[in-house]
Amino acid sequence: MDRNQSRRQISLMRQSLFDQGYLDEQFIQLEELQDDANPNFVEEIVTLYYRDSSRLISSIEQNLERNPPDFNKLDNIMHQFKGSSSSIGAKKVKAECALFREYCRAGNGEGCMKTFQQLKKEYGTLRKKLEAYFQLARQAGPAETASRPK
Amino acid sequence: MAALQTITQSSVSTGATSYNSCKGAASTSASAFEKVVPDQFPAGLRVLVVDDDITTLRVLEQMSRKCHYDVTTCSEATVALNLLRERKGCFDVVLSDVHMPDMDGYNLLEHVGLEMDLPVIMMSADGRTSAVMRGD
């Protein structure tokens, strides 16, 4: 694949992540923070997020197994997870977090469980998409990760 | 007209630093000179960022660097408080998350306000103003 084709593909991939609602403006903030001193900043943050948030996912899983679940505790953990997800612009994940918290406040265990399944799905999908995006960007060269739509 | 700001110049270094950068400050504070820096302010502003979420913390650190602040990060409120106590005069402002596991952000605010008289800016993923206004 020649360079121009690569660039176009990366740009399209990136745009579709926004168009399909996977990412929000916070991701653009991350791109703007990337510079020569921190050329892989966006990928670093995303990697950090997935590494760190896995413990929160496990914690929620454990707490959901309790009968009855401690909704207050679940809400607190989810607040943390939502905050973390917000910092990388994970739009769909964030939406599921908000829904989960609504169910917590309503004391609806089943609602929580269903939402959590959906959350994990979105979390996994985003991870795969971003991995593919970063891989392509790396192949094409460092300049591509900060490309903006025209 | 923009207000002129005076800052005590101890160690102005761009980039994130660990606690060591403040070592010199205590001994040089007596001989520290005051400098009027209307153009540069707030470059070199010594910020302590406290947030238990390491992803958010890393983002805040980078944002601070881009603003040419002298930034120190901390993921635990109790550690932050000890740092502030040990290195009095080493920071200009504290940026703190509201919800933290080891100490509530408001608790930190209270201590910092009483002991160090430093400005504390509260941050919350909870977008409601009420969540941060409680700090009043």
Q: What angle do CA B43, B126, A18 make, to 5 degrees?
A: 80
pTM for the model: 0.79
Task: Identify the band that residue B49 occupies on the pLDDT scale cut at 50, 70 and 90.
Answer: very high
Higher-pLDDT residue of A18, B35:
A18
Query: Which candidate, B130, B125, B131, places its Cα nearest to that of B51?
Result: B125
Q: Which fold has domain B40-134?
A: Rossmann fold (3.40.50)
- The domain A3-31+40-135 is placed in CATH, from the list 1.20.120.160, 1.10.287.3510, 1.20.1260.10, 3.40.50.970, at 1.20.120.160
Closest CA relative to residue A18, chosen from A122, A134, A144, A149: A149
The two three-digit tokens of residue A57, written as one number: 């996912």
pLDDT band at A139 (very low <50, low <70, confident <90, very high): confident
What average pLDDT does the segment A127-140 reach?
94
- The candidate with the shortest Cα–Cα distance to A52, out of B72, B55, B45, B77, is B55
pLDDT of residue B40: 63
Flag if B59 and A84 touch (Cβ within 8 Å). Answer: no
Q: Which of residues 29-48 of A touch B (CB under 8 A)?
A: 29-30, 33, 35, 37-38, 41, 44-45, 48
CB < 8 Å to B126, chain A: 79
Residue B115 vs residue B16, higher pLDDT: B115
- B47-66 exposure pattern, b = at least 16 Cβ within 10 A, e = fewer: bbbbbbbbbbbbbbbbbbbe
**How many angstroms separate the CA atoms of A54 and B53, rounded?**
13
B104 lies within 8 A of chain A by CB: no
Per-domain boundaries in chain A:
3-31+40-135
Band the pLDDT of B22: cuts 50, 70, 90. very low
Task: List chain B domain ranges.
Answer: 1-38, 40-134
ipTM of the complex: 0.88
Tell me what pLDDT residue A143 has: 57
pLDDT tens for residues B76-127? 999 999 999 999 899 999 999 998 888 888 999 999 988 988 999 998 866 6
pLDDT digits (tens, 9 = 90+) for A121-131: 999 999 999 99
pLDDT digits (tens, 9 = 90+) for A42-98: 999 999 999 999 999 999 999 999 999 999 999 999 999 999 999 999 999 999 999
| Model confidence at A138: pLDDT above 70 | yes
pLDDT at B71: 97
